[in-house]
Structure 1
Amino acid sequence: MPRPDDPQPTRLGITIPLDLPLAEHPPVLRALQAAGYSDFWTAETARCDAFGPLAHAAAVMADARFGTAIASVYARGPAALAMGAAAVGEAAPGRFVLGIGASSPTLATDWNCVAFERPLARVRDTARFLRAALAGERVDAAYDTFAVRGFRLERPPADVPPVLVAALRPGMLRVAAREADGAVLNWLAAHDVPLVRAHLDEDSIVTARIFLCPSTERAVVRNAARRLIATYASVPAYARFHEWLGRGPALARCWDAWAAGDKRAAAAAVPDEVVDALIVHGPVAECAARVREYVAAGVDVPVLKFLPLDPARELIGDALAVGSALAGARG
C-alpha cells in the first residue's frame, strides 16, 4: 500500500490504439476510463497515424483527455500537421495536447521519403509555426528548415492545444522549454527524470511514456525485454541519450555486439539492472508503486504502455488492474 505522503498521479495516461481493431475499441476505452485512466495518447507507428485513433476515441469519451506522443514533424508537412491537430482539438476542445518530435530516420526517410536532416532545427521551426497557425494567424514565413506561404487554418481550435516536444538530451530539451509548453520523455527510468527535468522550465508540462508488464515471471519478462531494449538503445539518438544518463558502461557490450551485426548477442548483453530500470514489471501493486516514483520525480502525465513480454498475460486486463490500483490509491 502507498504511504499517505506518496504522490499520486492526478492524470493517468495509456497508449492507444490497443491490440484490437479500432472498431472494437469503444467498450474497452470506456472500461479503461472507468478504471482510472484520464488520458489517451497515441504513438506514430506503421499501424496508425497519430491523429486518427484520437478522433475515434474522442467520439467515444466526451470528457477524456487526449495527446500525441508523438506526431512526427517529417511524416507530414507543417500545414497538414496543423490541420490534424486542429481537427482533434475541435473534437476534444480543451482536452487535447499536441506532442511533436523528430521521430527517426526510418519513419522520415525510409517510409515517407523525406531527408532526416537537422532534426533539432526542424522541430524548433515546426513548434514556432504551430504556435502561430493554431492561434489562427496567417503564416507567411521562411524558417531555417522550410518555408510556408500564405497558410491560415479555416477554423482554428477555440482552445489552442498546448504543444510538447519529444526531447532526450539538453539541446532538444531547450527547444521544449523555449518554443513549447513542455516535453515528452521516453525510455528512461524514474531516477533519470530529475536530470532531464532540470533542463526544462518549472512550469513545463512533462509527459513520459512508461513501459510495463505486470508479471511475476521476472526471468520471462527480462529475456523478452532485452531484445526490445537492445533495438531501441542501439538507435544513435537513444544511444547518446543513455550515454548522457550514465548507462554507457552498462550498455557497452550491447552496442559493440550490435555494431558487429550480432543482434542476439547484443540482446543477451543487456544487463538485468538496465531492464529493471527501463521496464516496470512485477505484481500489480509493485507496478503501481513504480509509476508513482515517476510522478514523485517530476512527471506530470505518466502514459503507460503495456508490453506483451509475458505471453501468459492479458494486456487489457493488466491495464485495468494497474489503473484501478492507482485510482484506488488516489482515493
Structure 2
Amino acid sequence: MPSSDRSPLAQPNWGVTLPLPGITIGHHQHIVERLPDIGYSDVWTAEGGGTDAFTPLAATAAWSPTLRLGTGIVPVFTRGPAVIAQTAATLAQLAPGRLLLGLGSSVPAHVSDINGIPFEEPFKRTRDVLRFVTRALRGEYIADEFETFSITGYRLPHPPTEPAKVILGALRPNMLRLAFGEGDGAITNLLFPEDVPKILQAVGPQPVGKEFVVKVFVCPTEDKYYARANARPFLAWILNREPYRKFHEWLGNGEVLREVHEAWEAADPAGSQKALPDEVVDGLFISGSPEECREQIMRYHLPGVTSIQLFVSLPPDAFYSQETVLDVLRRLGPAAL
C-alpha cells in the first residue's frame, strides 16, 4: 500500500453529487444549506443527463460559504481550453480556495454522439488541457503549441487569488500517473472496494496535498427489485463504453462481464442488462437501508482515499419532503458514524 499524507484512520471528506436525481437544481437550496450540518464538506457535479457541471456549483457557492465545489468531470473536448479556464476562474472568485476542477476525457457517447465533436487522442487531449488550464489558473501568459491544439496568446485577466486544484477523472495507470504527477490528484468511480488498492498501487506514493476521490453510487432502499431495476440500464450502458470496459479488464473483472459485452455487441441492450450478475449490480450501485449502505460505503474508506463522493439515487418514498431527503443523506453520511 502506497504512503499517504493522511493517516490510515483519517476521516475523508464526504460529498454529494448535485442535482440529486428527481430534484431540479432550483429546489436544492435548503438541502445545500444543511449539508455541512450533517457532516458533508463537498458538493460535486457531473456533466450529463441534461445538467452542466458548473451551474449547480455556482448556485452552491451562493448558498453555502464553506462547501468545497468539485466537478467530476468536465469533458476536455466539449469546451475550448480557455473557456474551461475562464469558467473555473469565475467560479473560483465565488468560492476562493474551495474549487476542485475535475477534468476528463469523458466517453464518445457524450463527445461525438451528442456534440458532433471527434473523440480523438483522449489521453493527449486531457494532458494538454490539464497543462494549459493549470498554467492559466496561475495567471501565466500562454502562447504555445500543444500536441492537440495551439494557443496564440492568452492570459486570464483575473486568475484565482487562492489556488484551485485541478484533478483528473482517471481509471487506468497512464491517466492516474498523469493526474498525480502533473495534476492535483484524481477522481475514479464504478469500481468495487477491493479494486481500490490496485488503483493506489498504480499511483505510487502520493505527494502531500493530492486528492484521491472515489465516487460511489448508492440507491438507499431495501427494495432490491427496485434498486436493481434502477441500476441495470445505467450500468449496462456505462460498462460497455470503451474506457470503462478497458478499466474493468485491467482490474481483472473482464470475465464476469463477458456476457454483458457480448450482448451489447449483438445490439441487444436488454440482454446486456439481463446478463449483469446481481453481485455486480449490488457491488457497483450499493443498495439497502441507509445504514446498510453506509457500511458498504465505508469499505471504500482506505488509506490514500481523501474524499468519498456519493451519487445518491433516491427511492420514491424519499421525496416526501426536503427534510426526508436530508434525513436519508444524514443516515448515509459521516454524521451517522
Output the TM-score relative to the length of structure 1: 0.92
Aligned to 1:191: 194
Deviates most, 90-99 or 321-330? 321-330
Name the SS of the counterpart of 2:187 in structure 1: strand
Q: Which runs of 4+ in 1 moved over 6 A?
A: none
Counting matched residue pairs gives: 325
Q: Is the 8 A contact 2:103 2:168 kept in 1?
A: yes
Deviates most, 107-116 or 123-132? 107-116
Letter in 2 for 1:218: K
| Identity fraction in percent | 37
Distance 1:298 1:226 in 2: 30
Name the SS of the counterpart of 1:296 in structure 2: coil
Q: Structure 2: give runs of 5+ residues left out of the alignment.
A: 1-6
Aligned to 1:59: 62
Aligned pairs for 1:34-53 (under 5 A) are 34-53=37-56
Which of 232, 242, 252 is the equivalent residue of 2:248? 242
Letter in 1 for 2:17: T
Aligned pairs for 1:74-89 (under 5 A) are 74-89=77-92
Name the SS of the counterpart of 2:310 in structure 1: strand
Aligned to 2:129: 126
Aligned to 2:14: 12
- Report whether the alignment pairs 1:321 with 2:323: no
Q: Structure 1: give runs of 5+ residues left out of the alignment.
A: none
- Give a deviation string over 1:250-274, Cα, whole Å, max 9, x none: 1111111111011111111100121
Distance 1:322 1:57 in 2: 17
- Report whether the alignment pairs 1:174 with 2:177: yes
Output the TM-score relative to the length of structure 2: 0.91
Name the SS of the counterpart of 1:198 in structure 2: helix
Report the aligned-residue RMSD.
Answer: 2.0
- Report whether the alignment pairs 1:262 with 2:265: no
- Give a deviation string over 1:206-248, Cα, whole Å, max 9, x none: 1121100111112331233222211111111111111111111
Distance 2:71 2:327 in 1: 21
Measured after TM superposition, the shift of residue 312 of structure 1 is: 4.4
Which of 283, 301, 309 is the equivalent residue of 1:303? 309
Distance 1:199 1:165 in 2: 15
Aligned to 1:202: 206
Aligned to 1:112: 115
Letter in 2 for 1:41: W
Distance 2:75 2:8 in 1: 35
Q: Is the 8 A contact 2:318 2:328 kept in 1?
A: no
Letter in 1 for 2:103: I
Measured after TM superposition, the shift of residue 6 of structure 1 is: 9.5
Q: Is the 8 A contact 2:105 2:123 kept in 1?
A: yes
Letter in 2 for 1:183: A
Measured after TM superposition, the shift of residue 155 of structure 1 is: 0.3
